[in-house]
Amino acid sequence: MKNTIVPGLAGVVADRTTISTVGKTGLGLSYRGYSIEDLTREADFEEVAYLLLYGELPVKSELDAFRKRLTPLRSLPARLRNILEQVPAEAHPMDVLRTGCSALGTMEPETSAAEQLQCVERLLATLPGMLLYWHHYHTSGKRIDTVSDEERLACHFLNLLHGKSPSKEACNAVNVSFIIYAEHEFNASTFSARVTTSTRTDYHSAITAAIGTLKGPLHGGANEEAMKLIDRFQTPDEAEKEILRMLDRKERIMGFGHRVYKKQPDPRSDIIKDWSRRIAEDTGHELLYRVSERIEEVVLREKGLFANVDFYSASLYHMCGIPTAMFTPLFVFARAAGWSAHIMEQRATGRLIRPSAEYIGPEPRKFVPIEKR
């Protein structure tokens, strides 16, 4: 019987997981049984990270202890700061995080699986500092302190970026974005982390592989491309005319469509859209929001494609004063929790991931010595 070839492995069930459900009828998007709607409405990102890593939502004492552990872990080793200063100013921020994660793995290596949660918590705490230490050093020459008094990761990031405590609305909005980006089953970067982990390599190697995978514009980089598109237009009417021309030219509109959500909206999109609207009203960016909304209407009407989570997260981050090149790194800050949960789950199975391929190359050929070719 001939094997069935599935390009891109679309719909192929590669393994079992207890971590999340994606696109399942009656279940929607859920993390360890909790719906994304409930989590974004009721929880902080730290609670969700704890849920993904430890399997249950924390009680208050556990959450307090988790936050208390993370706060001092935000400090960067001196050798890591030196490396970040050597990374070129023109480097992409995703390359900065990939380099920072790999370097941290050499300075604070995971010597056994028993240390995995310590490595996870250390990385969750340091990722924002890695990016913003590099950013401030190369934009203003400042060597910033990467430890802040902000308990929530979203507020900590905004504090380091802007040098002051963020507004409550901005902090809440970024917190929600971290929750919806934290986990999404066997997406490309998570699967990359699991494949890497299946070889029994170390934690930092698996996360480095995942960061490299997420950098691609067909995965995490889509929100950057969506913002570049939105930022081109001054009015909703101008946006509609150009989007129609782009569709006629069969150009790809970034931030629309999803491998899983083909016949249904991305459940994360409406959540982040609502926060984008709220931040627009709070910051006076209503026009930017209306442009985004018009683009969404045109693409849905003309192509039947729903906006995915990246589309409205782009305008949300922009309105919070976050540079476009940092959009995908924020994805990393959140998804590191999901990646880590999958790394631990993959380690528990212990099976090497090694699929097969159907060969379609040349038939057997006789080797010809170089002097006779």
Range in 7-16, 131-140, 157-166 the model is least confident about = 7-16
Average pLDDT over every residue of 236-260: 88
Beta strands across the sheet bearing 20-24 = 20-24, 28-31, 34-35
At residue 236, does pLDDT exceed 70?
yes
**Higher-pLDDT residue of 40, 355:** 40
pLDDT in tens, 40-56: 999 999 999 999 999 99
Same domain, 129 and 38: yes
- Centroid of chain to Cα 127: 12
**Predicted confidence (pLDDT) per residue in 81-120, tens digit:** 999 999 999 999 999 999 999 999 999 999 887 899 999 9
Q: How far apart are CA 293 and CA 33, in angstroms?
A: 31
Asked whether 121 and 73 are in contact (CB, 8 A), the reply is yes
Residues 47, 137, single domain; the answer is: yes
256 shares a domain with 134: no
pTM metric for this prediction:
0.92
pLDDT (0 to 100) of residue 24: 63
Please report the pLDDT score of residue 216 as a whole number: 86
CA distances from 346 to 130, 195, 288, 335 (A): 27, 9, 42, 16
User: Is residue 174 one of the residues assigned to a domain?
Assistant: no
- 123 with 209, same domain: the answer is yes
> Where in the sequence is the domain holding 277, given as residue range(s)?
222-319
135 shares a domain with 60: yes
**Which pLDDT score, from 0 to 100, does residue 361 have?**
94
Token digits of residue 370: 């170089």
Residues 156 and 77 in one domain: yes
Which H, E and C letters describe 312-349, residue by residue? HHHHHHHHCCCCHHHHHHHHHHHHHHHHHHHHHHHHHH
Is 247 inside any structural domain?
A: yes
- Rounded to 10 degrees, the C-alpha dihedral 267/271/272/274 comes to 140
Alpha-carbon dihedral of residues 305, 311, 312, 318, nearest 10 degrees? -160
Query: Are 84 and 191 in a shared domain?
Result: yes
pLDDT at 261: 59
Q: Are residues 83 and 136 in the same domain?
A: yes
Kindly state the greatest CA–CA separation across the chain: 77
Domain count, the chain: 2
The reply to whether 2 falls in a domain is: no
Q: Is residue 343 part of a domain?
A: yes
Alpha carbon dihedral 335, 88, 126, 227, in 10-degree steps, equals -40
Query: What local confidence, expressed as pLDDT, does residue 89 receive?
Result: 97
pLDDT of residue 4 exceeding 80: no
Which residues are tagged catalytic? 219, 258, 310
Average pLDDT over residues 109-136: 95
Same domain membership, residue 199 and residue 161? yes
In a domain, 361, yes or no: no
Does any domain span residue 175? Answer: no
Q: Is residue 85 part of a domain?
A: yes
CATH of the domain at 250: 1.10.230.10
Query: From CA 292, how far away is CA 55, in angstroms rounded?
Result: 37
206: CATH? 1.10.580.10
Do 104 and 47 lie in a common domain?
yes
Looking at residue 223, its pLDDT comes to 84
Structure confidence by residue, pLDDT tens digits, 164-220: 999 999 999 999 999 999 999 888 999 999 999 999 999 999 999 999 999 988 777
Query: Do 333 and 202 lie in a common domain?
Result: yes
pLDDT of 75 over the 50 cut: yes
Q: Using one digit for the tens of pLDDT, what is the confidence trace for 279-328?
A: 999 999 999 999 999 999 999 999 988 888 889 999 999 999 999 999 99
CA distances from 30 to 26, 36, 74, 105, 313 (A): 11, 5, 29, 31, 19
- 16 in any annotated domain: no
| Res 78 pLDDT > 90 | yes
- The answer on 208 and 281 residing in a single domain is no
